[in-house]
Structure formats: C-alpha cells, structure tokens
Amino acid sequence: MLYHSSIDAFLEINFNLIHHHKWALSDIESMIPWEREVYVKYLANALEKQRLEVQQANG
C-alpha cells in the first residue's frame, strides 16, 4: 500500500539523504512520496554513473 514495508526502511533512506547528501528533513517530508522515490532513483543513477566513470578512469 505504501512505498516501504517498514518504518525502518523508510527512515534509513531519509537518513542517507540527510547524512550523505545534505538534504533537509523538512524538504524531504514536504515531498509527495512518489516524488521522493523519483529523486532517490535519479540519485542512485547518478552515483552509479560516477562509480563507472571512476572505474574507467582507473583503467
């Protein structure tokens, strides 16, 4: 029914966004749930792209 099956998984994503990416909790909590999921997906794609670029640069 909701995006997350537990409050733990929900809070973990919030924690990662706040701690590693300097997002504000108030901004996250004012989003629509699907909007936050889209941002998380974009972020994951960007991180993956970054990882591949570093991998390629290192040969």
Partner 1 sequence: MPLPKVVAPTFELTLLSTGKPVKYRPFLVKEEKALLIALESGNEKDIISTVKNVIKACVMTRIKVDDLPSFDLEYLFLNIRGKSVGESVELLVNCKDQEETQVPLTIALGDIGLDVPQGHDKTVDIGGGIKLQMKYPSMDEFLSTNFTVTNSSDASGVDEAFESVAKCIDTVYTEEEAWSSEDCTHKEMVKFIEQLSSAQFKLIETFFATMPKLRYEGKVTNPNTGVDTEVVIEGLANFFG
Residue 17 sits in the site that holds partner 1 (CB under 8 A): no
Closer to partner 1 by CB, 32 or 57: give it: 32
44 class by beta-carbon count within 10 Å (0-12 exposed, 13-18 middle, 19+ buried): exposed
The pattern of x and - marking residues 24 through 53 that bind partner 1 according to CB under 8 A reads ----xxxxxxx-x-----------------
Residue 18 sits in the site that holds partner 1 (CB under 8 A): no
Residue 50 has, within 13 A of its CA and on its CB side, a CA count of: 6
Contacting positions for partner 1 (CB under 8 A):
1-4, 6-7, 10, 28-34, 36
